[in-house]
Amino acid sequence: MSAESGSSKFVEIENDTFRNSVGTMDETGKRKWVFPRKPKGKYTNYRNYASYLMLAIFFGLPFVKINGNPFLLINVIDRRFFILGQPFYLQDFFILALGAVTSVIFVMLFTVVFGRIFCGWLCPQTLFMEMVFRKIEYWIEGDRE
């Protein structure tokens, strides 16, 4: 295929002045602010429901007790750990280390296989960023429109 036939994958750009500018800056050098548009749609609603459920779990688990023990408590001063209501003491640290390594490997494998689902729907950083801080940002600055 030749370039004359017009079937070339590369397109010559006659005016490439856009390469000498920044998209968030005008000609005078002043900053152009970028405001995000609030997402809408069926999957956004599903993601919001999943996020509300995860936030409820994050904030509710410290108040759950199993056999009179907290669901999760890491007390470094008293050298006691409660995981799923089961007490662990300092001499049980190797069990905790084994569980921590297993959990990290599981999260890594889950992220490799289902990375978009984990990072977009289940990751704690994304949950707090999108469901807490982004809501405050929309409340203060408003939507793009």
CA distance 115 to 108: 9
What does the pLDDT look like over 21-49, one tens digit per residue?
Answer: 788 888 888 998 888 888 889 999 999 99
What does the pLDDT look like over 70-85, one tens digit per residue?
Answer: 998 888 898 888 888 8
Burial class from Cβ neighbours inside 10 Å (0-12, 13-18, 19+) for residue 6 reads exposed
Place of tokens 């984990």: 118
Count CA within 13 A, CB hemisphere, residue 1: 7
Among 76, 93, 96, 94, smallest CA distance to 84 is for 96
What is the model's pTM?
0.64
What does the pLDDT look like over 74-113, one tens digit per residue?
Answer: 888 988 888 888 888 888 888 888 988 999 999 899 889 8
Domain boundaries, the chain: 41-141
CA distance 83 to 104: 16
CA distance 144 to 39: 11
